[in-house]
Structure 1
């Protein structure tokens, strides 16, 4: 019984291979175009929203403040006091009101999901 089943499987697989259509030959390579006929190459315009943020560092007597701006809008401040743990003030809603985010080691850490601007009109 096993040998009959095996021979049927081999016969069926050979029949499917015999029915494949022939492969067409590949198309000829394209003709080369002289450089004078090619359109001019233009560089894409840089989008300032995609670049790195502007960072301004302010030294005070009791702390160092790093202001992070994107497109001229202040969205985050990192405050490093002379005495104590550093913390971050972050504008989550974009309305100018900053929320304090303490370091992860202090137990008061808040998850900050990346919020990149992909498109703006």
Structure 2
């Protein structure tokens, strides 16, 4: 048991001692420091953010639907049934159908032809 722990300590010490040299060797000679990037401006209270999605919550029957819109275009739905797990529907692009994202993948119905009459 002592032999194994000594080996672990030896490997750890070697790694700690060689790690800075490995990093230095990986850094190219012509590397330049990037200029300091200033932090983003602080958001004022009550200021409307343009990049934030617009969320509309509607009650349809026994389920709640959250509609997410960006620039007025509906791109995602979150459906919360009265009983069960919430799931999301979203569009891959503007012209595609809704895609189900959630705990239950879309139902795949077998379409094999077993017999023909």
- TM interval, short-chain normalised: 0.3 to 0.5
Query: What TM-score does the superposition give when structure 1 sets the normalisation length?
Result: 0.43
> What is the TM-score with the length of structure 2 in the denominator?
0.44
